[in-house]
Structure 1
Amino acid sequence: MSIGKKLANKTETVRGAAKKYLGRATGNTRLRTEGRLEQAKGNTKQAGAKAKDIFKR
């Protein structure tokens, strides 16, 4: 997987975490839920990329 895609996946995870904490701080459940989903999506993409890299070797 290219560096650009890895960076994009990590950025998505960090952005999701930021949304989650911002939603928690403001009491906005919709924002907190969006953040959780975005963070999980980024983590899933990262795990898939790592597995893909392992099987390439």
Structure 2
Amino acid sequence: MEEKRKAKIIFNKSGDKNKSTVNRVTLPVPWVRELGITEDDREVQISIENKKIIIEKL
């Protein structure tokens, strides 16, 4: 499967004293299914190479 989609990064500030920021991006359900990720088996490895984020199912 090769597909590209435009997405936006979500920025959330935590409620703690440090006011740290958490970033998230939503993945399309078909992509998650393609990787075989389920609610019961959802462990992934994330890495960054050459300015690209890579998500792989463990």
Larger radius of gyration: 2
Q: Give your verdict on TM over 0.5.
A: no
Normalized per residue, which structure has more strand?
A: 2
TM-score (norm 1): 0.25
Structure having greater relative contact order (Cα 8 Å, sep ≥ 6): 1
Normalized per residue, which structure has more helix?
A: 1
